[in-house]
Amino acid sequence: MYKVSILYTELADYSVACLRALKDCDVELMLIHWPINPEAPFKFDLSFFDKVHSRDSLSDLEMTQLVSEFAPDLILSSGWIDKGYLKVCRSMKDQSVCVLSLDNHWSGSVKQVVATLISPFTIKRSFHKAFVPGRVQKKYALKLGFDEGDIQTGFYSADTSKFQSAFNEVAKSKKESFLKRFLYLGRYTQHKGIFDLWEAFLKFRETNIEWELWCVGTGDQFENRVEAQGIKHFGFIQPADMLPVLKETGVYILPSHFEPWGVSVHEMAVAGFPMLLSDKIGSKESFLDGNGSEFKSSNSDELLRAMHWIANLDEDELLNMSEKSHQLGMKNTPEIWAERLMSFLK
């Protein structure tokens, strides 16, 4: 039986689903994770792990000792923001396959160029392999010095079984009547483009009185949310309780100014939602292809045009997009995720 240590920053429902699938590969699992983010207060069942530790209760030395005693065959570290995680991997590099996950886009910024120059003395000193979401992250990993054969894509996966069930339910209601309701699912923060969304919707609503916008989430801008006719705010909803909202909405919108990937796009694709996505969302490379439209971020007029475009489609076109979204969403699953991670041991 293999042993795997997971050094994670911010857990989410989808990452736990992937780790549960990893456990099903008959491995012994240790998890070290950051405290739960209050802006996304998920409730997790972590009982399937063999060992679980909260990062804030461990010094770098204590953490290194715990991992060393566990003696993993593979260590997965989410990013390099936690320097303690880097120390663990560097100390274990001769005993374990050390895998870095990163979701940074390659942009060629000065900071990134510096990172590529010092990588042989920092990042590459700690890791053998890289596990990334998509093409633009793979480009960055290559520039950091990882070989093509040492990089896997598909690092982020939705909990597809959960949203497959939602699709089965949602598809029935959509065929009966495609509901004229946009859905926003995400944090209430400036960079998510929520103020662009509300501005565009208020203009859209002037000539499309039958449409509504339902918003799910919380964050530092929740108190500044726009309250208006046709806009409904639900606050944070646990993923297990999302089905009623999914059954009552029709089109997914994500207007982010910057989104390294965007797992909610994958989730909503599996659930069968046509998409309106900004051009700054990484996951559109996998989940936007004939099932919606892209618009320029930070531009409420562009978003308004996208809303009008989708509102003018007939129900058959929207249903075809719904089916296409679902097909795209099933390209990656927690089971595929686990297989890709374990492939680093072969």
> Quick one: average pLDDT of 309-333?
96
| pLDDT at residue number 125 | 94
User: pLDDT-derived band of residue 166, with 50, 70 and 90 as boundaries?
Assistant: confident
Q: How far apart are CA 225 and CA 188, in angstroms?
A: 8
Pairing between strand 129-132 and 27-33?
unpaired
Q: How far is CA 90 from CA 64, 71, 98, 141, in A?
A: 10, 14, 8, 18
| pLDDT at residue number 150 | 97
The fold adopted by the segment(s) 2-158+332-345 is Rossmann fold (3.40.50)
Q: Which of 48-52, 103-107, 226-230 has the lowest mean pLDDT?
A: 103-107
pLDDT in tens, 64-102: 999 999 999 999 999 999 999 999 999 999 999 999 999
Is the separation of the CB atoms in 144 and 116 below 8 Å? yes
> Quick one: average pLDDT of 327-341?
97
| pLDDT at residue number 36 | 84
Residue ranges, comma separated, of all CATH 3.40.50.2000 domains in the chain are 2-158+332-345, 160-329
User: pLDDT-derived band of residue 41, with 50, 70 and 90 as boundaries?
Assistant: confident
| Kind plus residue range of the DSSP H or E element containing 283 | none
Q: Which of 16-30, 102-116, 205-219, 263-277 has the lowest mean pLDDT?
A: 102-116
Check whether 224 has a pLDDT greater than 80: yes
| Kind plus residue range of the DSSP H or E element containing 216 | strand 212-216
Residue type, 68: S
Strand order in the sheet with 251-254: 231-233, 212-216, 181-185, 251-254, 275-278, 292-295
Angle between helix axes 194-205 and 300-311 (nearest 10 degrees) is: 50
pLDDT in tens, 167-216: 998 887 788 889 999 999 999 999 999 999 999 999 999 999 999 999 99
Is the separation of the CB atoms in 31 and 49 below 8 Å? yes
pLDDT in tens, 104-150: 888 889 999 999 999 998 999 999 999 999 999 999 999 999 999 99
Q: How far apart are CA 51 and CA 114, in angstroms?
A: 37
pLDDT in tens, 291-303: 999 999 999 999 9
Q: What is the CATH number of domain 160-329?
A: 3.40.50.2000
User: pLDDT-derived band of residue 165, with 50, 70 and 90 as boundaries?
Assistant: confident
